[in-house]
């Protein structure tokens, strides 16, 4: 099979996996993602898709490994950074903070990640860093001030 044919087949399988996942067919989607990886072991989207499915179905160890694999291939993959951070939020908050900070560095206008980073930093008592994250989110979207914890609102409204 030529490289062009392989790429076309991998893309068709990727589209099938996304459709199946959208329709809650996680088994079929996972099969398609694995077939994509047989054709293209460096498909960050397939690794990420498997990670999402495993995260949704409670296989967090697998999910983390799949997100990590996607990040080994593309360290700037924001979705994988954020998903792994969310996965690690309670078990390894320091690693979650590190991943969210990387995601914010990659995409400074991602208000949702900035807001979640601020919340996690606030939970960990890192007030000045939390204020900075909340300020960044509100600077991009002033409507988010309502989602900032009350104790931080004055600091972000200045």
One domain, residues 1 and 22 = yes
One domain, residues 67 and 88 = no
DSSP secondary structure string for all residues of the chain: --HHHHHHHHHHHHHHHHHHHHTT-HHHHHHHHHHHHHH-TT-HHHHHHHHHHHHHTT-HHHHHHHHHHHHHH-TT-HHHHHHHHHHHTTT-HHHHHHHHHHHHHH-TT-HHHHHHHHHHHHHTT-HHHHHHHHHHHHHH-GGGGGGS-HHHHHHHH-
One domain, residues 82 and 149 = yes
Q: Quick one: pLDDT at residue 11?
A: 92
Specify the CATH number for the domain of residue 103: 1.25.40.10
One domain, residues 13 and 53 = yes
Q: Quick one: pLDDT at residue 2?
A: 74
One domain, residues 99 and 51 = no
One domain, residues 85 and 70 = no
Domain boundaries, position 53: 1-74
One domain, residues 44 and 10 = yes
One domain, residues 92 and 158 = yes
Separation CA 116–CA 103 (nearest Å)? 11
Structure tokens at 108: 């400074």
One domain, residues 94 and 126 = yes
One domain, residues 111 and 70 = no
Q: Are 137 and 115 in contact (CB under 8 A)?
A: yes
One domain, residues 81 and 42 = no
Q: pTM score > 0.75 for this model?
A: yes
Indicate the number of domains in the chain. Answer: 2
Last residue of a domain, one of 74, 91, 121: 74
Separation CA 140–CA 51 (nearest Å)? 29
Q: Quick one: pLDDT at residue 158?
A: 64
Per-residue pLDDT of the chain (158 residues; tens, 9 = 90+): 677 888 899 999 999 999 999 999 999 999 999 999 999 999 999 999 999 999 999 999 999 999 999 999 999 999 999 999 999 999 999 999 999 999 999 998 999 999 999 999 999 999 999 999 999 999 999 999 999 999 999 888 76
One domain, residues 11 and 53 = yes
């Amino acid at each position: 099979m030529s490289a062009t044919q392989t790429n076309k087949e991998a893309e068709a399988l990727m589209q099938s996996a996304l459709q199946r996942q959208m329709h809650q067919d996680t088994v079929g989607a996972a099969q398609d993602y694995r077939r994509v990886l047989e054709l293209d072991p460096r498909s960050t989207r397939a690794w990420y898709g498997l990670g999402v499915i495993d995260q949704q179905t409670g296989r967090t160890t697998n999910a983390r490994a799949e997100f990590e694999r996607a990040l080994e291939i593309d360290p700037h993959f924001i979705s994988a950074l954020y998903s792994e951070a969310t996965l690690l939020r309670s078990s390894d908050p320091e690693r979650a903070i590190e991943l969210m900070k990387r995601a914010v560095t990659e995409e400074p206008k991602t208000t949702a990640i900035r807001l979640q980073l601020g919340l996690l930093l606030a939970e960990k008592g890192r007030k000045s860093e939390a204020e900075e994250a909340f300020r960044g989110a509100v600077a991009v979207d002033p409507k988010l001030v309502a989602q900032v914890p009350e104790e931080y609102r004055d600091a972000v409204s200045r």
